[in-house]
Structure 1
């Protein structure tokens, strides 16, 4: 479950936000728009709901464009050359217990290989090449999660989705690289949130809160709300509006995902119209397979 912030209240407010949030521009850095935080307070402030109309964009699976594959460093860098963003990425285990990035359990859709990821060794996977969303083979290889954690430090925040990797292995890798300030963890239950909080009291989490049951599960976990953003579904709807209000009252930003819905529309123009509709419903974070298109719509408002 891959961030940019847009403040639509004038140039002065925008400049103040950029100074306070940790975003650094291309002109300042030469190549990439960066999300860089000096301490946990800055990180939490960036993700905290403040009621100021700001929207953060997350690249789902890192994001994709023609010639770039999902879940790879090259794809992440391509997005950061165009906008500041954070990214949801997908850890999976190989046959020899190496953690790699791959959304699907199988290799067929996104690589030149076939079969299950877990049936192949890391060495075997290195012989493959990744495909872009149209099926075109790229020069990109499957990266390890460790490589991406090292690469992302000082550049962006990576949000690790929950796939088939044991939580203990994820925790060990975060601890090894002292990555609490630039790694976020997707959690589906309060128990998962508590597991990570007990080991990393300052780490940010992307928690499922799509209904009252999930909200209450998080509430009783004992994990502070300041450690969370909340995924509330594909859109802000009458059904989840009350939950959104309760989360906002606790300072929690609410995230929607247009990856399974509007991102699937055939034309850029159709997608833009739907993105605008979602923006008008005032989500705090929009997750998209095509973050650069969402960014363009936000910039135009």
Structure 2
């Protein structure tokens, strides 16, 4: 008798729209093309605050820059992820924030001193130093995993701009954006990829003017404005919002360093009260249940 409902469910499943991932999993961010990517970061005054996982987010047993950690975060909540590409000795792009693997793996030494195959002998460790079964992922693996699930924000470390642009051109992902620290970097990628999306460091009106002068389309920009919203920079936030740009802050260097979860959450609530559009954090799961309306 149990087989009949199963067969019926499978039959119905044949006719469900495969692309409607948001209906199947409410924590996924389905991005089908560059238009969807640009639209996701479009500012709206009544939109709830968006949460980004810094270094992919992390929990006990789930290390930074780790696909399994990304998946775990999405099981709790919607998030996009800032990740850190680096080059191995043999030119493979992997995820690793630090120049060395000492802090985040069971090994020691520089990423650039190892081939990708050699790096696979080590395991990732979580923030508390606990060894996990997880391995250092390649950027290619992350992109493949992320399709239809989330957006990847590439905070590129030692990968030259041309190598990264070549890689992205070859892989052609529609759900990837670049962190850029100045207008020159943005202009380089834009000339290579006219529909590129950017997380631009833009902390004052002088920097705002440089992006504008360089002709970076505001519809393709999210602005990182610093670790907190500052009253003295309100003119910057107004200018960004007038152009449809969301303002992102990062609590990674501030409240994420609180000694307890309660201390961290108290700090998050303070920043939520200043009405940023995006908050980047090491611990997205701690924002569950917080009022993110503005």
| Shift in CA distance, 218/300, structure 1 to aligned 2, threshold 3 Å | closer
Task: State whether structure 2 residue 166 is matched by structure 1 residue 172.
Answer: yes
For residue 115 of structure 2, what is the aligned residue in structure 1? Answer: 121
For residue 266 of structure 1, what is the aligned residue in structure 2? Answer: 259
For residue 14 of structure 1, what is the aligned residue in structure 2? Answer: none
2:43 to 38, 43, 49: 49
For residue 237 of structure 1, what is the aligned residue in structure 2? Answer: 230
Paired positions, count: 275
| Shift in CA distance, 163/278, structure 1 to aligned 2, threshold 3 Å | same
- Unmatched segments (≥5 aa) in structure 1: 1-21
SS in 2 for 1:113: coil
For residue 297 of structure 1, what is the aligned residue in structure 2? Answer: 290
C-alpha displacement at 1:54, in angstroms?
2.0
8 Å contact from structure 2 (residues 73, 284) kept in 1: yes
For residue 19 of structure 1, what is the aligned residue in structure 2? Answer: none
Task: State whether structure 2 residue 57 is matched by structure 1 residue 63.
Answer: yes
**CA distance in 1: counterparts of 2:93 and 2:33, whole angstroms:** 27
2:22 to 15, 21, 24: 24
SS in 2 for 1:244: helix
**CA distance in 1: counterparts of 2:184 and 2:112, whole angstroms:** 26
| Shift in CA distance, 134/242, structure 1 to aligned 2, threshold 3 Å | same
Task: State whether structure 2 residue 103 is matched by structure 1 residue 105.
Answer: no
C-alpha displacement at 1:299, in angstroms?
6.3
**CA distance in 1: counterparts of 2:69 and 2:189, whole angstroms:** 28
Q: What's the RMSD between the two structures over aligned residues?
A: 1.7
1:161 to 149, 155, 158: 155
TM score, norm. by length of structure 1 = 0.87
1:183 to 163, 176, 181: 176
Q: Deviations over 1:1-28 (max 9, x none)?
A: xxxxxxxxxxxxxxxxxxxxx8715xx2
SS in 2 for 1:298: coil
8 Å contact from structure 1 (residues 53, 282) kept in 2: no
8 Å contact from structure 1 (residues 146, 173) kept in 2: no
**CA distance in 1: counterparts of 2:94 and 2:113, whole angstroms:** 13
Instruction: State which structure, 1 or 2, has the greater radius of gyration over its C-alpha atoms.
Output: 2
SS in 2 for 1:296: coil
8 Å contact from structure 1 (residues 50, 251) kept in 2: yes
SS in 1 for 2:76: coil
8 Å contact from structure 1 (residues 69, 130) kept in 2: yes
Task: State whether structure 2 residue 213 is matched by structure 1 residue 215.
Answer: no
C-alpha displacement at 1:246, in angstroms?
1.0
TM score, norm. by length of structure 2 = 0.89
Task: State whether structure 2 residue 186 is matched by structure 1 residue 193.
Answer: yes
Task: State whether structure 2 residue 81 is matched by structure 1 residue 87.
Answer: yes
C-alpha displacement at 1:229, in angstroms?
0.1
- Unmatched segments (≥5 aa) in structure 2: 1-19
